[in-house]
Amino acid sequence: MEQFIYYLKVSLISIRRAPLPYALTIFILSVGLGVFFANATFYYQLNSDPLPEKSDKLFFPMLNLVPYECSTDCRTPRVLSYSNVEKLSQTDIPSQAAAMYSADGYLRQRADQTPLPVSIRITQRDFFAMFDVPVLHGSIWPDNSARPEVILTKATAQKLFGKSDVVGEKLLLDDRNVTVSAVLDDWQMLPRLYDANNRNHLSEADDIYLPLETGYDMNYLSNSQSQTFDDTDYRQLSTQGRTGALHQLQYWVKLDTPAQQQAYRQFMTNLVQDEKAAGRHPSPPNNQLVAMRDIVSYFGGDSSDIKAFALVTLLFLLVCLFNASHLSLNRYLSNQYEFSLRRALGASRSQLQLQMLADVLIMALFTITGALLTGYGGIKLMNNLLPANRLFSDWDLTLLLGLLTVAVICSYLVTLYPSLRASFGSLNQQLKE
């Protein structure tokens, strides 16, 4: 230990001897790593799997079940109609299934209060089990039938009542009476893969939850995407909306085994055949069963800006690494004489390598500090410039450890080659020079 402290001391002395090149090395390495860190954070968070044990078991089925015959654009609509979902639900192959969409509304306790604008997820019972949503108080709706009952998030409950245990309380949702049936614990699924259409997976979780049937009864239109392919009047959601080609639903099914998945695919094929036979499916079949882990790229919602930037920051890191090793090579070359002298005085190569290790340690320490500062600044800047990705800028432990490892490896690389050059060069020549 005492020996290692000595090595650290020697390192510091050699830094003091030529502070400018050392500072430049640290600067360049910090900037390169910092920029890389900032982008890696977004890249990691945006591509993280919020439900790793389930994301290959949850599927979004889509059918070309529309009243028109497609001519050029035969892509399957990204949203389903109420009747599409009804037909897709007529099987017990999935262990769980939930249709959903989102809308905006106003919530208050009494008509004379200022309303609280809320985003509403209008969905079915299985939603909560499917996406591991934690319930704090009360219980989830027992079935999928219409009921004037809302489920609040903890934050919404706190905002409205100042407390979270508000099960049974009455509320006005857009001036209609509803009762609180449950309050959710803090929950944020990032990215929000159940709603990946229109890059909505980048948004925060919704404030309240309303049964799908009630949503249709209350005539809530989707605030994300609703399309009509016939003359359905979208003001008549509870009647025409349930039968016409008004598409606004996303639908998730849980298919636990490959056999189930195969069976469900077959079910979709049969369904389309039946519909075609009944004359309700004029377009050629184009069934899709997209797994949750593929849904973002299926909808073309990959964060291309972050990807592009990832490519570029990686290049930048490389350049900085080259540059830093160049700088530190220069530094070592100017210290070469001393290195040779040490070897002439009897220092073994392994002792010199320990000296190198001390150098790496000190460099890593400075670099990590610099890189974290730059990275933090970079993230703030990126949040400002690309606000859509704002929710994906947090450092968690895994990420932080990964980043630190990268920083240490980089410091090691930057020190390794130059010190090898310095310690394994021809002793004789260096002393004579």
Partner 1 sequence: MSFYLLFKVLFSRKVVTGLLLLQLAMTLALLLNSILLAKQTHQQLNQPTGLDVDNTLLVQLKPTMASLRVYPALEELLNRQLDAVQAMPGVIAAAYTNQSAILQGGNNGNVYIDGEEDRTNQPSVPMYFVSKDFFNVLNSDVLQGELPQHSVSLDNPVQPDVVITKSLADKLFAGKPAVGQQLNRGRVAAVISDFYGQRHGTNIMFNNIQVAPPYSVDWGYGILLRVQPGQAENVRQQVDKVLRNVEPNIEILHVRTLAEQYQRLYRNEYGLATLLALLSALMLLVTMVSSYSSTHFHALKRQQEIGVKRALGASKKVIFLELLSENWLCTAIGALFGIGCALLLNKALSQVITIPPLDLYLPLLASLILLVCVTVATWYPAAIATRISPATATKAL
Contact positions vs partner 1 (CB under 8 A): 21, 24, 27-28, 31-32, 35, 71, 73, 103-104, 106, 115, 117, 174-176, 220-221, 223, 234-235, 302, 304-305, 307-309, 311-313, 315-316, 318-320, 322-323, 325-327, 329-330, 333-334, 381-382, 384-388
Q: CA-to-CA distance for 100 and 121, rounded, in angstroms?
A: 7
> Which residues lie below 8 Å from residue 306, measured CB to CB, with a gap of 6+?
39, 42, 43, 46, 386, 389
The distance of closest approach from Cβ of residue 74 to partner 1 in the complex, given in angstroms and rounded to an integer, is 13
The distance of closest approach from Cβ of residue 32 to partner 1 in the complex, given in angstroms and rounded to an integer, is 8
Query: In the chain, count of helices (H) and strands (E)?
Result: 14, 12
The distance of closest approach from Cβ of residue 308 to partner 1 in the complex, given in angstroms and rounded to an integer, is 5
Q: Of the two residues 250 and 261, which places its CB atom closer to partner 1 in the complex?
A: 250
Residue 81's DSSP bridge partners are 247
Q: Of the two residues 90 and 304, which places its CB atom closer to partner 1 in the complex?
A: 304
Q: Of the two residues 111 and 397, which places its CB atom closer to partner 1 in the complex?
A: 111
Q: CA-to-CA distance for 136 and 141, rounded, in angstroms?
A: 14
Q: Of the two residues 74 and 318, which places its CB atom closer to partner 1 in the complex?
A: 318
The distance of closest approach from Cβ of residue 50 to partner 1 in the complex, given in angstroms and rounded to an integer, is 23
The distance of closest approach from Cβ of residue 117 to partner 1 in the complex, given in angstroms and rounded to an integer, is 6
The distance of closest approach from Cβ of residue 298 to partner 1 in the complex, given in angstroms and rounded to an integer, is 16
Residue 138's DSSP bridge partners are 182
The distance of closest approach from Cβ of residue 116 to partner 1 in the complex, given in angstroms and rounded to an integer, is 10
Note if the bond before 61 is cis, omega within 30 degrees.
no
Q: Of the two residues 234 and 298, which places its CB atom closer to partner 1 in the complex?
A: 234
Radius of gyration for the chain, computed over Cα atoms and rounded to the nearest angstrom = 30
Query: Which stretch of DSSP H or E encloses residue 323?
Result: helix 304-334
Assigned token pair, 258 = 């490959």
Q: Of the two residues 287 and 335, which places its CB atom closer to partner 1 in the complex?
A: 335
Q: Of the two residues 308 and 409, which places its CB atom closer to partner 1 in the complex?
A: 308
CA 153 to chain centre: 21
Q: Of the two residues 2 and 231, which places its CB atom closer to partner 1 in the complex?
A: 231
The distance of closest approach from Cβ of residue 433 to partner 1 in the complex, given in angstroms and rounded to an integer, is 9
Q: CA-to-CA distance for 370 and 362, rounded, in angstroms?
A: 12
Contact 135, 128 (CB under 8 A): yes
Contact 180, 167 (CB under 8 A): yes
Assigned token pair, 321 = 């690494």
Q: CA-to-CA distance for 121 and 319, rounded, in angstroms?
A: 47
> Which residues lie below 8 Å from residue 382, measured CB to CB, with a gap of 6+?
38, 39, 42, 389, 393
Closest CA to 178 of 166, 196, 162: 166
